[in-house]
Chain A
Amino acid sequence: GENVEQHPSTLSVQEGDSAVIKCTYSDSASNYFPWYKQELGKRPQLIIDIRSNVGEKKDQRIAVTLNKTAKHFSLHITETQPEDSAVYFCAASKGGTYKYIFGTGTRLKVLA
């Protein structure tokens, strides 16, 4: 079955700097890759996603890149702010099952 690895497990950056979180997946049939943000005690919220027919997607300060050949995808957050502090999860899914297999999560701390 699908396996998703996520790095790093924790990440501290200074406010205004960029943060990058990387994920790799094992199943080449996976074709949808969402990213979720989870604040303490709250539900995961979808922040951005990418499909396998696209190499990059951007939404304001957040971008995601996908390398299908290498089977990895990354989340990029620019100009980080304290409110970006949260746990971020990547996931992989393949069409037909709609199941998400989540990475292990990255705890991001943005230091003011």
Chain B
Amino acid sequence: GAVVSQHPSWVICKSGTSVKIECRSLDFQATTMFWYRQFPKQSLMLMATSNEGSKATYEQGVEKDKFLINHASLTLSTLTVTSAHPEDSSFYICSARPGEQYFGPGTRLTVT
């Protein structure tokens, strides 16, 4: 099956700094990737749709200047959390689709 990786798997950063999370499709090309946020014991909330070579499409209520998404190639999308604050602490998961969506293992972000 399709394999999606994420890096890092966890990260701790100080308030005010920026953090970059990578999402890679390892064995297929993904023109579209998705970024989700998941709070403990809650559902996956779609943040944005990342399209290769074009601007990401953000869901309502998601600050595009805070969550910068870049889909520079058919196998890589990055999410940068800028000027992170403790309330940004969460589990961030990406997915990519060769058809149905395959999920990465997630990145746990803790902002202190």
Contacts and interface: CB of A to CB of B under 8 A. Distances in A.
B71 to A, nearest CB: 14
A43 B104 contact: yes
A34 to B, nearest CB: 6
Interface stretch (B11-19, B62-70, B73-81, B93-101): B93-101
Given A42-B105, A43-B93, A44-B103, A104 B42 contact: yes
A25 interface: no
Given A103-B43, A104-B43, A105-B42, A43 B106 contact: yes
Interface in A1-59: 1, 34, 36, 42-46, 49
Nearest to A49: B100
B26 interface: no
Nearest to B97: A98
Query: Main secondary structure on chain A at its contact with chain B?
Result: loop
B105 A43 contact: yes
B100 A34 contact: yes
Interface of B: 32, 34, 41-46, 49, 60, 93, 97, 100-106
A73 interface: no
Contacts of A45: 103
Interface of A: 1, 34, 36, 42-46, 49, 89, 97-105, 107
A46 B43 CA distance: 15
A100 B97 CA distance: 11
Nearest to B93: A43
Given A43-B93, A100-B46, 4 more contacts: A34-B100, A44-B44, A45-B103, A99-B49
B41 to A, nearest CB: 8
B102 to A, nearest CB: 7
A78 to B, nearest CB: 23
Nearest to A44: B103
